[in-house]
Amino acid sequence: MQTITKYSEEELVILLRAQDQSAFSYLYDNYAAALNGIITRMVDDTQLAEDILQEAFLKIWNNFKQYDTSKGRLFTWMINITRNLTIDTLRSKGYKKGKKISQDENSVTTYQDKSFTSEKFDTIGLRKQLQHLKPEQKVIIDMAYFSGYTQEEISKEMEIPLGTVKTRMRTAIIELRKLLQ
Amino acid sequence: MEKQEIISSGLLEMYVIGAASIEESAQVELLRSQYPEIDEEIINIEKAFEAYAFANAVTPSSSVKNELFSSLNFTNQPTNSSEPVQSAKVVQMSSPLRSVAAAAAVLLLIGSTVLNFFYYNKYQDVNGKYAESQQQIASLNQHLTEVDKDLSIVQSKYSEPVSLKGLEAAPDAGAKIFWMKNTGEVYVDPTNMPMAPAGKQYQLWAIVDGKPVDAGMITSKDGKKYSIQKMKSFGKAQAFAITLETEVGNTQPKGVMFVMGEI
């Protein structure tokens, strides 16, 4: 993805509100793989995952006016739309929440997709960095991030108090932020 | 709750990741609008999670974008002319597509090699045939030149034909002499002579004043059929005859006389 054109998040938001097609193309090119990564972690079926990805982008395009900059960053909003859509789709198909994640909760360190490159992030470097996360920290992030578990559900699943779930999440994110600096 | 307490509680992380309850989310949204520190902290948490998403990225197949854009009636390529020019993107292929493409490339290479081999052979073949044709044309041209030359001798208004008849040794044999009256050149047409046996050659004699005079050896090219050939010139002669002599020829006829004709 060697796109010379670069938009700042503010520019992207303005262009997308104006229904600018090339901005949407840029959005897809830069974020589709990351969103697909989230879906792929939740859905075993590649075809279903790509259907969800396509639907997620349709939703992002059609509901863009609902995006409120004061409630979070653009990509976080996109991630939440994608994650919720995936959870809804799986639920409608009778999947149990977190079915996949419980099977491969350590796959962050082993998962490799060399074809993905991003101008924004050094993906391979990131993956190496993520190996420094403690397993219990990764599990918590993955359960919430890739499975859509609420903190209560994580607490129940891991048999730890709700407060501990939060603080562990906090420590994991602090660790993650340290690794990203 | 104190700002710092909120920040360190892990609630903001839960909020960002969508794992907080509705009440908690409403609380966080209120707090972030009141405290820039909390807003900044949320943004940093979002960035961390976004990076986590990029670290786990999986490139979808290119058909997804095509289908998405055609369902929206978009052209896949950005068309806004006010945008800076974009460089061509390297399209990342999904690994099954990549292996299909690799297999197709290998097949194409094999196909191309086979075709190359086939066409090279064909080229060699045609080239050989062309050279053969060229050779044929050259030999036909040469033959035509010879025939023309022969014909010019026969047709010349100065040529006096002398028929040499077969004698006892070879009653069926025959030869012709074309004697040029203007120049005295003598040509012999020995095409109706039997081939001379190995080690022997025909010799033409002019009978001048009752005596045989050597008029030259009759040759054939590489053992092929005899053709009209130029012999020694004579100002006068009463008859011509051909005898079979040794290859080098003789000053006087020693061998059997095959044909003879008087003028």
C-alpha A36: how far from chain center:
8
Q: Which residue has the higher pLDDT, B167 or A111?
A: B167
User: Number of helices (H) and strands (E), helices first, in chain A?
Assistant: 9, 0
Interface test with A, best of B6, B30, B58 (most A CBs within 10 A): B58
Model confidence pLDDT, tens digit, residues B4-28: 888 988 899 989 988 888 899 999 9
Q: Which residue has the higher pLDDT, B112 or A107?
A: B112
Sheet of strand B200-208: strand arrangement: B211-218, B200-208, B239-246, B257-262, B159-166, B174-180, B186-189, B229-230
pLDDT of A104 reads: 41
| Residue % of chain A over a pLDDT of 70 | 78
A39 in Cβ contact with A53 (< 8 Å): yes
pLDDT of B178 reads: 93
**Candidates B9, B46, B58; nearest CB to A76:** B46
CA nearest to B25 within chain A: A71
> Cβ–Cβ of B59/A36 closer than 8 Å?
yes
pLDDT of B154 reads: 86
**Tell me, what's the ipTM?**
0.78
A118 in Cβ contact with A33 (< 8 Å): yes
> Cβ–Cβ of A79/B53 closer than 8 Å?
yes
B249 in Cβ contact with B214 (< 8 Å): yes
CA dihedral B111→B114→B116→B119, nearest 10 degrees, is: -120
pLDDT of A2 reads: 44
pLDDT of A144 reads: 84
Q: How many CB atoms lie within 10 A of CB B9?
A: 17
Q: How far is CA B35 from CA B32, B46, B149, in A?
A: 5, 17, 119
Task: Show the tokens assigned to B85.
Answer: 């020019």
Give, as one character, the DSSP assignment of residue A101.
T
| Alpha carbons A7 and A9: distance in angstroms, whole number | 6
> Cβ–Cβ of B48/A180 closer than 8 Å?
yes
Amino acid at residue number A7: Y
Task: Show the tokens assigned to A75.
Answer: 């990509």
| For residue A116, pLDDT beyond 80 | no
pLDDT of B128 reads: 87
B257 in Cβ contact with B232 (< 8 Å): no
For range A112-129, the mean pLDDT: 53
> Cβ–Cβ of A154/B19 closer than 8 Å?
yes
Q: Which residues of B touch A5 (CB under 8 A)?
A: 78, 83-84, 86
Residue-by-residue DSSP string for A30-88: HHHHHHHHHHHHH-S-HHHHHHHHHHHHHHHHHTGGG--GGG--HHHHHHHHHHHHHHH
Q: What is the pLDDT along chain B (263 residues), one digit of tens a residue?
A: 578 888 988 899 989 988 888 899 999 999 998 999 999 999 999 988 888 888 888 899 989 999 999 888 876 554 443 344 445 556 666 677 778 888 888 888 888 888 888 888 888 888 888 888 888 998 899 888 888 888 888 888 888 899 999 998 888 999 999 999 888 999 999 989 998 888 899 999 999 998 999 999 998 876 678 888 999 999 889 999 999 999 888 889 998 999 999 98
> Cβ–Cβ of B89/A34 closer than 8 Å?
no
* Length in residues, chain B: 263
Find the largest Cα–Cα distance for chain A: 49
A14 CB near a chain B CB, below 8 Å?
A: no
Q: In the structure, what pLDDT confidence band is assigned to residue A7 with cuts at 50, 70 and 90? A: confident
Task: Show the tokens assigned to B254.
Answer: 């020693």
CA nearest to A51 within chain B: B64
> Cβ–Cβ of B61/A80 closer than 8 Å?
no
| Alpha carbons A108 and A137: distance in angstroms, whole number | 12
CA nearest to B67 within chain A: A54
**Candidates A29, A32, A141; nearest CB to B89:** A29
> Cβ–Cβ of A35/B53 closer than 8 Å?
yes
Model confidence pLDDT, tens digit, residues A140-156: 888 888 877 888 888 99
Whole-structure pTM value: 0.52
Decide: helix, strand or coil at residue B40.
helix
Contacts of A31 by beta carbon, 8 Å cutoff, 6+ apart: A75, A78
Question: Which residue, among B170, B146, B144, B174, has the nearest Cα to B161 in the 3D structure?
Answer: B174
Model confidence pLDDT, tens digit, residues A37-79: 999 988 888 899 999 999 999 999 999 999 988 888 999 999 9
> Cβ–Cβ of A72/B61 closer than 8 Å?
no
**Candidates B14, B56, B90; nearest CB to A37:** B56
